[in-house]
Amino acid sequence: METLGIRLKQLRKNLKLTQQQLADKVGVSKTSIIYWEKDENVPKHESLMALSNALETTPDWLLSGKNEASLVSPPSKDEVYMSPLRFKSSYENKNTVRIPIHKDVKASCGDGAVNFLEEITGYAEIDPDLLKMLGVKTKPEKLRIIYSTDYSMWPTVAPDSPLFVDTTPVDTTAMISGDVYIFLHSNFLRMKRVFVSYGDEKTVRLQSDNPDKKKYPDEVITKEQLNELSFVGRLESALVKP
């Protein structure tokens, strides 16, 4: 069975590129190329877009082998960002999924914004291949799209970025330490990377990804306080504006 790694290696050799040359074009390490070609890892969204450009093919073809590689030029990152909520494959894949959009709901990356999932403002018709490119693994029926504000989660999330949120109920005793969660705190909808210690330590760290810790300091709360937070869901992916 032909895999992403096989297709990648085939195109790289067709273009007479070494693994190091391809890595330089994509902006990753040679090791990443090796892992991708061995199917030991899958390129994330940004890397997949850069990889398809470097190999003069499309993300769809790399992921699934659908259609000839040279038929359609891959969408640029700008194109994917600017129209993610109406994105359809250039191959007219009609098997799109509908994801509710809460346009007026914004999860603040800073102090918070008073909003919640009060009403659906629309639906996104999204190609499942785009969700794969974004690394979304949650079933579409569990996904909701909201938006971000502030810069505390930059560069992971930029202001006004669409956020794909997994709304599966969050069990605070089995959270994925290091993942980003959206939660209500004192009537504010917030978004932070949560680090939970399941040992003897009684604290939980709410981290901002922004390296400016003077402006965006991390917060430490107790596990009891963690249980008092009302979790909306876990961030699956975000489209980051270049």
The residue whose two tokens read 């961030």 is: 235
pTM: 0.61
Query: What three-state secondary structure class fits 18?
Result: coil
Same domain, yes or no, for 136 and 44? no
Query: Do 65 and 113 have their domain in common?
Result: no
Asked if the model's pLDDT at residue 103 lies above 70, the reply is yes
> Could you read off the pLDDT of 2-13 as tens digits, one per residue?
788 898 998 999
| Tokens 């790289």, residue located | 12
**Residue at a domain's end among 15, 42, 74:** 74
Distance between CA atoms of residues 13 and 45, nearest Å: 23
| Inter-residue contact 159 to 149 (CB < 8 Å) | yes
At 53-66, the pLDDT tens digits run 888 887 777 877 76
Is 124 among the domain residues?
A: yes
Residues contacting 76, CB < 8 A, separation 6+: 49, 53
For residues 136 and 162, give the distance between their C-alpha atoms in angstroms, rounded to a whole number: 13
Shared domain check, 182 and 217: yes
Residues 193 and 162 in one domain: yes
pLDDT category, 234, cuts 50, 70, 90? very high
Can you give the residue range of the structural domain that contains 182? Answer: 97-238
